[in-house]
Amino acid sequence: AQSVTQLGSHVSVSEGALVLLRCNYSSSVPPYLFWYVQYPNQGLQLLLKYTSAATLVKGINGFEAEFKKSETSFHLTKPSAHMSDAAEYFCAAQTAAGNKLTFGGGTRVLVKP
């Protein structure tokens, strides 16, 4: 069965520093991959998705993620953290169109002034 692992349930970064959130998937067939963000008491908002057209995917709010098949990874990065980036981030995989999303455990990002 498909599984998604996010390394680190909490990440603390200083404002202006690099944000790196790790995601690994387990699938012999590269799935569709997504990053969602959840702000406190809100729903999930799509940050970006992997479409197999390009391994480096750019999303909203300055985030990007790189798909690496050899490492079965889809890590999320942002060069310079902003206070407004404090939120919970979820990596998710989908093995086929119309299929369910399998989520990682989430990573809470804290941004220090």
- Is residue 113 near another protein by the rule CB under 8 A? no
Q: Which is nearest to 21 in space by CA: 7, 34, 33, 31?
A: 7
- Is residue 103 near another protein by the rule CB under 8 A? yes
Of 10, 105, 110, 112, the one binding another protein by CB under 8 A: 105
Q: Is the separation of the CB atoms in 95 and 2 below 8 Å?
A: yes
- Is residue 80 near another protein by the rule CB under 8 A? no
Q: Which is nearest to 69 in space by CA: 33, 97, 100?
A: 33
For 107, the token pair is 């990573």
Of 56, 69, 83, 98, the one binding another protein by CB under 8 A: 98
Return the number of other C-beta atoms located less than 10 Å from residue 81's C-beta. Answer: 22
- Is residue 27 near another protein by the rule CB under 8 A? no
> What residues line the site for another protein (CB under 8 A)?
32, 34, 36, 38, 41-46, 49, 51-52, 88, 90, 94, 96-103, 105-106, 108
